[in-house]
Structure 1
Amino acid sequence: MEEEENRTKLARIVASAVLLVVAVVVQRTVELPMWGYLLAYLVPYLVAGYDVLAEAWEGVREGDPFDEDFLMAIATIGALAIGFLPGSDPEFAEAVFVMLFFQVGELFEDIAEDRSERSISHLMDIRPDVATVVRDGAEKVVSPADVRVGETIVVRPGERVPLDGVVLEGETSLDTMALTGESMPRPAGVGDELLSGCVNVSGVVRARVTKSFGESTASKVLDLVENASESKSRSEAFITRFARVYTPVVVFAAVATALVPPLVSGDFAASFPTWLARALTFLVVSCPCALVISVPLTFFGGLGGASRRGILVKGSNYLEALAKAGVVVFDKTGTLTKGEFKVVSVVSAAQAGEKDVAPATAAPAGASAAAPAGAAAPAGASDELLHFAAHVESFSNHPIATALREAFSCLDDGCEVADVHEVAGKGVVGTVNGHVVAVGNELLMQERGVACASAHERGTIVHVASDDAYLGYVVIADEPKPDARKAVADIKAEGVRRTVMLTGDRASVAESVASELGIDEVHAELLPQDKVSEVERLISEKGEGETLAFVGDGINDAPVLARADIGIAMGALGSDAAIDAADVVLMDDEPSKIAVAIRVARRTLRIARQNTVFAIAVKVAVLVLAFFGLASMWLAVFADVGVMVLAVLNATRALR
């Protein structure tokens, strides 16, 4: 619909320009009375500006007339009227040109901002359409809205959890990516909470419903996006704010110029025509053409310059908001980190230190005996550890299993793997070449009576034991993006005074990443509604005139992207919902582009201010001359069209 309106406006501009050429030809070749020329120019004038006149009239009727539409209307009508004053030359073409230029600027503004209104229908995927509920001893498939609090639901592997609840029977792993943005599944057993929107990965579970469908987590995520979009802070267009002051001052000054001097002179009838002509010249000079064209063009150039750097800004108002960013808030996974889990280190029992493992720990055949703490373990110990871990995990599609397999490239070495079974929420146990191998967390080691090392490293710790003898552990982590640290440093160099990270990941991992990247503040283990609450708090604490920018990539980030003053989404790998809810999209997922976007925005705003100061200074000077009768219509045209041309040329610098 918006694209169709833009095409219609473009057609009107082209039609008006053609009709203007026809009117000029008529004026120069055909002898007509003044009103005949007026009619010839009224046609292109009304084609271009009928909606501006309508908006101006509506503002007058509603008691709020002083905006750019009103000033455009009165200035162009004044230009049309000058030709009927004794001794004055007609300025009909000027009036049409002014209205045409105004509409071109409005068109550019509309094109730049159309993309800011996107559908977020992709989010509907996280809210299931059906639920399996147990009634009268039988399972029934119903709408989630029909399930009552306290009823029991059944969730099978591969199904999305339809309602919030507490597990009554069974154990499983939950893919919480849709809510937390974290790709590492989380274990869930009896007594643990199930959140709607999660995907059941492995086991069948029965759960007691604790919240109605409308109050479920998935529903709240959707509602948060809608409500946040409505309450989103949007800066008014720069020129509109200026016009609210400029327009009434100019109008009242023109009226005063036409009436006060004749009244003071004592010969109103004789002097009024002279002062009325000056007042109308005053209005032509005051026409905000340079502002209403150059300022939108400057922002439009900034948008184009940013897009060439892989930064999509959905409107000029977002550029202005981005230029004032004083607080930048980051999501972690997929934003500052790669979102891909890799084995970052392999630590044998010897390297972990004898004090952290059981005294009876024995190494498997081929591995070296324990070494003193901190000593370098032989390659054989690490190789054997990875060998066992990768083979036991060879049949799993769990992210941990994938990372282990990728770290060990010789899975086709003929080893015999048998009796592999998952211990829900703890790990995997299997037999490799006759050795019973356990791969999992500390709970699995405790269950099998194996004393494991106390690891304090960033990432997920996977312990490995063979025949109940501790071998060591593997550290699996989501690595920061190569330019993440530089991104944070560059953002601070641009004048951003506070950087914050919000994540659904564990506190220890989040704090480690924040420390490594130089982020000032971190809040971990957050759900989407928690992130929105944190952003609300940060918005309330920001400085006067500052804006808050949030950078995220997942579906779970959509509500907070919409609530922030300026939402920045990682585009290439980010979810559709996050991209739709954001105001700025980094198309190549490089966080270092955030500083570039801020720099482009601030340069654009600086050029817009230069144009504003230049246009106002010239116009004020010519207005003073017009008041004393020292400014001819040619000088008035320069103060309008000439300043506009110079301002537009300056605006094109924003493209570079």
Structure 2
Amino acid sequence: MSEKKKSHQWLLEGIDCANCAAKVERGVASIPGVTESNVNFMTETLRFEVADDQENLILVNIQEKINKLEPDVTLKNKADGQLINMNPAIVLESHSKEDEESHHEWLLEGIDCANCAAKIENGVAEIDGVINSNVNYMTQTLSFDLVAENDAKTLSSVKTKIKKLEPDIIPLIKATGQEVGEDRGLQSEKSGQKQNHKRPENLGINLTIGRLILAVSVLLLASFAPITPSLSFGLFVVAYLVAGYDVIWRAVRNIFNGQVFDENFLMTIATLAAFYVQEYPEAVAVMLFYQVGEVFQDVAVNKSRRSIADLMDIRPDYANIKLADGSTRQVSPESIKVGDTILVRPGEKVPLDGKVVGGSSAMDTSALTGESMPRSVKEGDDVLSGFINKSGLLEVVVEKPFSESTVTKILELVENASSRKAPTEQFITKFARYYTPIVVILAVLLAVLLPLTIPGMTFNDGVYRAAIFLVISCPCALVVSIPVGFFGGIGASSRKGILVKGGNFLEGLNYVKYVIMDKTGTLTKGEFEITDIQSTPEFNNEELLELAAYAETHSSHPIAVSIKEHYGKEIDERRIDEYNDLSGHGVQAVVDGKEILAGNAKLMAKYGIPFKEVEEVGTVVYLAIEGAYAGYLLIADTIKDDAAEGIALMKEKGVEHIIMLTGDSKAVAEAVGNKLGIDEIHSELLPQDKVEKMEEIMARKNKKDKVVFVGDGINDTPVLARSDIGIAMGGLGSDAAIEAADIVIMDDKPSKIGTAMQVAKDTRQIVWQNIILALAIKGVFLVLGAFGVASMWEAVFADVGVTVIAVLNAMRVLRK
């Protein structure tokens, strides 16, 4: 049985650098019991899953880990905005009452030999009250059971025994990573104090004071030579501390927490090195400009967040509920129940999905579909949350709660998309983790080796060049701008009515060589009409149509719907005694005591019904009554207006093979495929046949190539799942499409596939521009710094300046 998991979303309010976000993500992921840890720097959101049976203890561990890594960050529950402030002492006390009843598993951190493991296993087994003691040396796990009496005392004895046998081992509760028996009360209090520590909001004032002191210091030095060196030095120190005390404090704190190589450490060491070589003005100026750069970086990132948020500003603020006495009251959309009636006035957003029961209007659907053309709605039509009412007053009966509404699902998809990181993003994250320590090592080597190898160079010269190396080595430009680029690409796609569920799928669109498409509902409108009815002499057309409509009563297939609509009369379900849906063939039903078969040629062959196959273009539904062939209905579907444009656009973007898979007849499939310029056509396929064809095509591709399947997201779920990238048409209002696919085209237009590929190309271009820009500039200045050409002023530009430029460049994708 698989272990139950529970998902959580926390806001990391105040997280101000992508490197910090990456640290939190890795830190939370390292906690036992945590899976799927992901930090979205753009939305300041931490998403993770925990083991359900140890949930509270793991949440305490996560809270303390984040407080340790980033004390300035305020933790809030994303769902309700409440502060996360769990009391470890209370949680552990309640846990001990449950956990100490029977089975226990502890991690023996630091155990390094199998003999030691055997000693502990035997020693714990000798303790009164312990049964089934076992140590797994490979997993460093001690498991044992306790008898019901004196559990707390026995647990203490187990820990004492371990410490006596192996003093260097730290026993941890395996499920949570908490040290066994440690006092959490004091730590909780300290954590609370840390959490209340905020980054100064008057950073701008501090910078101004720092600049003034620096200016006064330089002016005094330049104008009044008699000033004592100690006074001059003191002014520089004051300016330095005012400008960068928060950077220094974070660097010291992170060192004690085991987080050495970050931007705070690098800037502190570099500027202290400048003080050491008596470049006092430069040390203060570097810290000042670093802080100014950080401010500009924060402004740029916040602007990008707001830009993307504005694109997805479709969440309704309120709903007008209609009361029993006919009056209305403005309430939150979350409080509305299914079946309630709401009023949507001109200019207002539709707050929940529902059906119009009064009024008519034109709806702006651009927030969901990217299309500016208004859509007319009238009584009986469906409307979705996120639509904007342009003209008339509408009365709508709610059909879904807000938590299941279209707007909620879209916002969740876009917001959570960054949890699926693109390969480029994953590579840069790993690269940054190794890049900074390597540059620090090189800086140390510069400081030591250059004075030894270059005649006339002093040790101070080597230290100064090493300090330049340290300033340049901060990887912020890469770590910040790459996620911003992908997040911007996902936001730009959403604005065009294309929902991309992850950066990995967006990047994958750049490598698509095979596109496999369904026909009905994908290339054609799926709006079927009966164009001909032909019955045998034993029956008439009206009787044939009536029996076909009754046979298809319980089917939701577009063809069945068209038959029922053409019949146009109310169906008395009491006349139907039996109904069977025969996948890939049709239906079998008993109507008025007669067996009715309605379906394709395979259905007739399956039941051994003699018939003459019809070769006309269209979908043919053959009917048999009581085992005798009775005639057929010819149903035609129309090709979507932009289908040919979509096929041409995909080929223009580099797709080499466009393939159509359909269960329709060969004649119909070839007529549609040849008209659209499709390369391969496979017809008369059952659902399992489509999967087999998909497997054949997957075997043909090169390793790097991607195979896309485009379907309606309902009947094609197995093929969507098997493809590299599944694209669902018919997303507007289709829950199944949104769930099944990796990319959802909200307005059903095949041409949007090419649009998505173009956004993917633009995103990749901008991302690689940032990677090359950052690495090139940093590389140049590293070399210049090593040869003594670049000063710290240029080094600051190579760090914070490049970061700001990269973030602003990443936001260009929103204007594509």
Does the TM-score normalized on the shorter chain lie above 0.5?
yes
Cα distance change on mapping 1:271 and 1:639 into 2, 3 Å: same
- Give the aligned partner of residue 247 of structure 2: 45
Matched residues in 2 for 1:576 and 1:474: separation? Answer: 31
Cα distance, 1:462–1:456 mapped onto 2, change above 3 Å? same
Aligned partners of 1:99, 1:82: CA distance in 2, in Å? 21
Task: Map residues 78-227 of structure 1 onto 2, 5 A cutoff.
Answer: 78-85=269-276, 86-88=278-280, 89=282, 90=284, 91-95=286-290
Matches within 5 A, 1:508-547: 508=666, 511-512=669-670, 514=673, 517=676, 518-520=678-680, 522=682, 524-527=685-688, 531=691, 538-539=697-698, 541-547=700-706
SS at match of 1:476: strand
CA pair 362-621 structure 1, distance change in 2 beyond 3 A: closer
- Residue 596 (structure 1) shift: 0.5
Asked if the contact 1:458/1:508 (under 8 Å) is kept, the reply is no
Residues 127-526 of structure 1: pairs in structure 2 closer than 5 A = 235-237=423-425, 238-240=427-429, 242-243=431-432, 246-247=435-436, 250-265=439-454, 271-343=458-530, 345-346=531-532, 348=534, 385=541, 387-393=542-548, 395=550, 397-399=553-555, 402-407=561-566, 440=598, 452-457=611-616, 460-463=619-622, 473-476=632-635, 479-501=638-660, 505=663, 508=666, 511-512=669-670, 514=673, 517=676, 518-520=678-680, 522=682, 524-526=685-687
- Conserved 8 A contact 1:459-1:477: yes
Residues 464, 470 of structure 1: 8 Å contact kept:
yes
Paired residues of 2:523 and 2:639 also in contact (CA < 8 A): yes
Give 1:21 deviation, angstroms: 2.9
Q: Which amino acid aligns with 2:247?
A: Y
Residue of structure 2 in register with 1:618 after alignment: 777
Q: Is the Cα–Cα contact under 8 Å of residues 101 and 293 in structure 1 kept in the other structure?
A: no
CA distance in 1, matches of 2:422, 2:441: 31
Match of 2:766 in 1: 607
Deviation at 1:495, TM superposition (A): 0.3
SS in 2 for 1:545: coil
Q: Deviations over 1:45-94 (max 9, x none)?
A: 38988998799x46x8xxxxxxxxx4646533444434432224233345
CA contact (8 A) 1:320 1:601 kept: yes
Q: Deviations over 1:189-211 (max 9, x none)?
A: xxxxxxxxxxxxxxxxxxxxxxx
Q: 1:46/1:630 Cα in 2 relative to 1: closer, same or farther (>3 Å)?
A: closer
Specify the alignment match of 1:636 in structure 2.
Answer: 795
> The residue matched to 1:543 in structure 2 has which SS?
coil
The one-letter code matched in structure 2 to 1:20 is L
Residue 575 of structure 1 and its aligned partner are, at CA, apart by: 4.8
- How many correspondences in the alignment? 484
Structure 1: 5+ residue runs without aligned partners? 61-69, 115-231, 350-360, 365-383, 413-417
For residues 510-551 of structure 1, what are the alpha-carbon distances to aligned partners after superposition, in whole Å with 9 as ceiling and x for unaligned? 9546555415364832349x73x7656644543243333333
- Partner AA of 1:318 in structure 2: F
Q: Separation in 2 of the partners of 1:457 and 1:53?
A: 78
Question: 2: distance between equivalents of 1:319 and 1:300?
Answer: 10
Contact 2:529 2:636 in 1 (8 A): yes
- More contact order relative to length (CA 8 Å, sep ≥ 6): 1
SS in 1 for 2:797: helix
Q: Which residue of 2 aligns with 1:20?
A: 203
1:92 corresponds to which letter in structure 2? M
Root mean square deviation of aligned Cα: 5.2
Deviation at 1:28, TM superposition (A): 4.8
Q: How far apart, in 2, do the equivalents of 1:8 and 1:327 lie?
A: 44
- Residues 264 and 5 of structure 1: is their aligned pair in 2 closer, same or farther, counting only changes over 3 Å? same
Q: 1:318 to 1:471 in 2, by over 3 A?
A: closer
The alpha carbon displacement at 1:493 in A equals: 1.7
Q: What secondary structure, in the 3-state scheme, does the structure 1 residue paired with 2:449 have?
A: helix
**Cα separation, 2, equivalents of 1:254 and 1:290:** 20
Counterparts in 2 of 1:47 and 1:75: CA distance versus 1, 3 Å: closer
- How high is the sequence identity, in percent, across the aligned residues? 37
List alignment gaps of at least 5 residues for structure 2.
1-6, 17-43, 45-71, 75-197, 218-233, 310-419, 581-586
Equivalent-residue separation in structure 2 for 1:458 and 1:582 (angstroms): 31
Distance 2:532 2:288 in 1: 79
Residue type of the partner of 1:250? V
For 2:480 and 2:768, how far apart are their aligned partners in 1? 13
Do residues 598 (structure 1) and 757 (structure 2) align?
yes
Aligned letter for 1:526? Answer: P
Amino acid at match of 2:787: F
Could you say what secondary structure the match of 1:9 adopts? coil
Secondary structure in structure 2 of the residue aligned to 1:18: coil
Q: 1:419 to 1:77 in 2, by over 3 A?
A: closer
Task: Tell me how far 1:597 sits from its aligned partner.
Answer: 0.5
Secondary structure of the 1:454 match is coil
Answering whether residue 170 of structure 2 is matched by residue 9 of structure 1, we say: no
Q: Is the 8 A contact 1:294 1:608 kept in 2?
A: yes
Contact 2:468 / 2:792 at 8 angstroms: preserved in 1?
yes
CA contact (8 A) 1:553 1:579 kept: no
Q: Would the alpha carbon gap of residues 82 and 585 (structure 1) be closer, same or farther in structure 2, given more than 3 Å must change? A: farther
AA aligned to 2:680 is D
The 2-side partners of 1:449 and 1:565 are apart by: 40
Give the Å deviation of 1:281: 0.9
Deviation at 1:636, TM superposition (A): 1.9
Q: Equivalent residue of 1:330, what SS? A: strand
Aligned pairs for 1:49-88 (under 5 A) are 57=258, 70=261, 72=263, 75-85=266-276, 86-88=278-280
**Aligned residue type for 2:741:** A
1:328/1:551 contact within 8 Å kept: yes
Cα–Cα, structure 1 residues 46 and 110, in superposed 2: closer, same or farther, change >3 Å? farther
Residue 767 of structure 2 aligns to a residue whose secondary structure is helix
Amino acid in structure 1 at the alignment position of 2:481:
S
Tell me the alpha carbon deviations over residues 299-331 of structure 1, each in whole angstroms, 9 at most, x when there is no partner.
232222211101122333332222222233334
Q: CA deviation at 1:426?
A: 5.5
Corresponding residue number in structure 2 for 1:568: 727
Contact 2:653 2:757 in 1 (8 A): yes
CA distance in 2, matches of 1:649, 1:111: 13
| Deviation digits for residues 277-308 of structure 1 (CA, Å, limit 9, x no counterpart) | 11111222343333333333322322222111
* Paired amino acid for 1:9: I
Change (3 A) 1:560 1:8: farther
Distance 1:13 1:509, change over 3 A: farther
**Structure-2 residue corresponding to 1:171:** none
| SS class of match (2:460) | helix
User: SS at the partner of 1:589?
Assistant: coil
What is the SS of the residue equivalent to 2:704? Answer: coil
With over 3 angstroms needed to count, the CA separation of the structure-2 counterparts of 1:595 and 1:443, relative to structure 1, is closer
With over 3 angstroms needed to count, the CA separation of the structure-2 counterparts of 1:618 and 1:17, relative to structure 1, is farther
> Deviation of residue 18 (structure 1)?
2.2
> In 2, are the aligned partners of 1:392 and 1:437 still within 8 Å (CA)?
no
TM-score by length of 1: 0.59
Structure 1 residues 443 and 552 mapped into 2: Cα distance closer, same or farther (>3 Å)? closer
Contact preservation (8 Å) 2:266, 2:474: yes
